[in-house]
């Protein structure tokens, strides 16, 4: 009987204060370690945007280089300025269009990142791939300069007709750039930890990206039917389509996580 009562009493003994404090200290240390690890996985927005801006600026500068080569003295000798512009009308239009496309993609990226407090590692990887595709646009545009406006009948006879692949590779370049920008928008939309406290990303960025992706896919198909680069004119319907979608589906309008406290 004495042993049983002794054992029962021993089970009811309270945990010493020193042990409780040690457990609390360990829990706090583990929690702090996890928070620090989470913080280490976050990457500052400013440094990533600075890198992106530099790459896009270089890409936009490279767009003009093929046209600059056409202004050499040995290539302009014997022709008037009007004749030079007539000969380079298509390359100039391609330059202006590519410049506007790159500027548009850059603006949307800036708008998307304006609502972010941090970059996740996955978002950084997607950004790097997006920048890689964007910096290739000067190459695909240069091919448009050289091959996309081939009007020489002898050259077309040798190649079996106009080079349609040159139009397709350019449109695929834009399609890939838009595809990865949509993945970036999805990553932002699904990770609220990345958002600023009083600023949420716009739903329109994701909706417009998906619509543009579909339109570019259609343009890629049309480029192989003899339309060439004229399929890119379908991009003009993107904003009207997005406007109709926002009117038809009000949930497409506004910002993720609404009601938002403030707008940025």
DSSP state of 42: -
**For residue 4, what pLDDT is reported?**
47
Instruction: Please check the confidence at residue 161 and state whether its pLDDT lies above 60.
Output: no
Range scoring the smallest mean pLDDT among 90-94, 135-139, 190-194, 223-227:
223-227
pLDDT band at 76 (very low <50, low <70, confident <90, very high): confident
The mean pLDDT value of the chain amounts to 79
pLDDT at 178 over 90: yes
Residue-wise pLDDT for 17-72, tens only, equals: 555 555 555 555 554 544 444 454 567 788 889 999 999 999 999 999 888 887 77
Element (H, E) at 119: strand 118-119
Q: Give the pLDDT score at 174.
A: 95
Tokens found for residue 213: 């992706």
Contact present, 100 and 137 (Cβ < 8 Å): no
Report how far residue 186's alpha carbon sits from residue 136's, in angstroms, rounded to the nearest whole number: 23
Q: What is the pLDDT of residue 128?
A: 95
Give SS3 for 198. Answer: coil
Nearest to 110 by CA among 179, 180, 186, 49: 49
**Of 7-16, 41-50, 78-87, 110-119, minimum mean pLDDT range:** 7-16
Structure confidence by residue, pLDDT tens digits, 128-144: 999 999 999 999 999 88
- Distance (Å, rounded) from C-alpha 51 to C-alpha 135? 13
Burial level of 241, CB count in 10 A (0-12/13-18/19+)? middle
Q: What pLDDT was estimated at residue 157?
A: 44
Question: Is residue 172 pLDDT above 50, yes or no?
Answer: yes
pLDDT-based confidence at residue 155 (cuts at 50, 70, 90): very low
Most confidently modeled of 11-20, 169-178, 202-211, 238-247?
A: 169-178
Distance in angstroms (rounded) separating the CA atoms of residues 139 and 141:
5
- The Cα–Cα gap between 12 and 88 comes to 93
Give the tens place of pLDDT for each residue, 192-221.
Answer: 888 887 778 888 889 999 999 999 999 999
């Amino acid at each position: 009987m004495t042993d049983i009562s002794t054992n029962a009493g021993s089970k009811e003994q309270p945990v010493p204060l020193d042990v409780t404090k040690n457990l609390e200290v360990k829990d706090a240390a583990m929690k702090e370690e996890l928070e620090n690890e989470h913080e280490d996985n976050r990457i500052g927005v400013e440094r990533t945007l600075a890198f992106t801006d530099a790459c896009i600026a270089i890409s936009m500068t490279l767009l003009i280089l093929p046209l600059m080569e056409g202004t050499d003295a040995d290539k302009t000798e014997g022709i008037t300025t009007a004749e030079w512009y007539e000969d380079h009308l298509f390359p100039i239009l391609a330059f202006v269009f590519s410049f506007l496309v790159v500027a548009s993609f850059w603006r949307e990226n800036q708008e998307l990142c304006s609502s972010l407090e941090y970059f996740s590692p996955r978002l950084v990887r997607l950004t790097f791939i997006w920048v890689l595709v964007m910096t290739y646009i000067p190459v695909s545009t240069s091919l448009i300069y050289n091959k996309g406006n081939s009007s020489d009948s002898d050259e077309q006879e040798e190649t079996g007709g106009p080079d349609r692949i040159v139009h397709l590779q350019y449109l695929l370049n834009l399609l890939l750039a838009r595809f990865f920008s949509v993945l970036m928008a999805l990553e932002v939309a699904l990770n609220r930890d990345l958002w600023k406290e009083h600023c949420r990303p716009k739903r329109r960025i994701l909706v417009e990206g998906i619509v543009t992706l579909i339109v570019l896919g259609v343009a890629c198909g049309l480029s192989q039917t003899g339309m060439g680069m004229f399929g890119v004119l379908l991009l003009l319907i993107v904003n009207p389509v997005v406007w109709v979608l926002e009117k038809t589906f009000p949930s497409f309008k506004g910002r993720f996580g609404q009601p938002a406290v403030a707008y940025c």
